[in-house]
Structure 1
Amino acid sequence: MAQSINTKVELTTTGVSYLSIGGKVGKFLLGDKGIEFYSDKNVEDYIQIPWANILSIGANVTGRKNTISRHFEIFTDRGKFLFASKDSGKILKIAREHIGNDKVVKLPTLLQTIGQSLKNIFKSKKTE
């Protein structure tokens, strides 16, 4: 049986983990000790990330109303985790309370990533 790392739960919501191919649907538990994700199909298939291990957490923010996308990434000392949830804004607000405002970042959009890649390609050709 999976044992929770949290003693108090602040938010429970549904979402998807993209750790494996195709993604797994499950539940998020955010509490006083960290973020947890439990798969709906197999509760023993879980991810537990303590707040102390999170280097940063980020999501795409788009539009004039600063809409937060469903997808967010958690960067830890062990790697990167990609998740999606309809309540990603709430998840980021709770994470901000635990890890600090400076570790909650705005990730670049797809167009910004492509633009930066093109800049780097042309920049490297000029220096040759």
Structure 2
Amino acid sequence: MVQSLNTKIDLTTKGTTFVGTTEYGNIMIGDKAFEFYHQRDRRKYIQIPWQEIDFVSASVLFGGKWIPRYQIHTKQNGTFTFSSKDPKTVLRAIRVYIDSQKMVKSLGFFDVIKRAFIRKKTNK
């Protein structure tokens, strides 16, 4: 059985991770780490200590009314993508432990297209 890094749990909610294949389980936010535990297979889990997180980005659509998923970018282990039933609550709980300067909004579809055209023009 996996031992939790947290000594105090602030939020527990159902969530989904998109690392490799889609996995369903529980997201736990506590005083020491962000944790994801698979709902059936106890060997599949993700534990990210707060000091390991570089920044958190969220896909914001319709003027902030819908956040389909959010990514946690770590200093050494890459990016982890998650989704949950109430992402605003999860992001607010993360903001308690992560500086608000490290909570960013990811680029939208048209912003990515616009950057591609701008780079193409400057490279010519």
Q: Under TM normalisation by the shorter chain, which class is it? A: over 0.9
Q: Deviation of residue 76 (structure 1)?
A: 0.4
Q: What residue in structure 2 maps to residue 6 of structure 1?
A: 6
Q: Within 5 Å, which residues of 2 pair with 1:19-58? A: 19-21=19-21, 23-58=22-57
Q: Which is worse superposed, 114-123 or 73-82?
A: 114-123
Q: Deviation of residue 109 (structure 1)?
A: 0.9
In the aligned structure 2, how far is the partner of 1:114 from the partner of 1:97? 33
TM-score normalized by the length of structure 1? 0.90
Q: Deviation of residue 53 (structure 1)?
A: 0.5
Structure 2: give runs of 5+ residues left out of the alignment.
Answer: none
Q: Tell me the C-alpha RMSD between the 2 structures.
A: 1.2
In the aligned structure 2, how far is the partner of 1:96 from the partner of 1:79? 20
Q: Deviation of residue 68 (structure 1)?
A: 4.1
Structure 1: give runs of 5+ residues left out of the alignment.
Answer: none
Aligned 8 A contact 1:70 1:87 in 2: no
Q: What residue in structure 1 maps to residue 81 of structure 2?
A: 82
Count of residues paired in the alignment: 123
More strand by share: 1
In the aligned structure 1, how far is the partner of 2:94 from the partner of 2:28? 12
Aligned 8 A contact 2:60 2:68 in 1: no
Q: Which amino acid aligns with 1:69?
A: I
- Deviation by residue 1:42-101 (Cα, 9 ceiling, x = unmatched): 02210000111101001022334x224120000001211111112211111111110111
Q: Does 1:16 align with 2:16?
A: yes
In the aligned structure 2, how far is the partner of 1:67 from the partner of 1:75? 23
Q: Does 1:110 align with 2:109?
A: yes
| Larger Cα-atom Rg | 1
Aligned 8 A contact 1:59 1:68 in 2: no
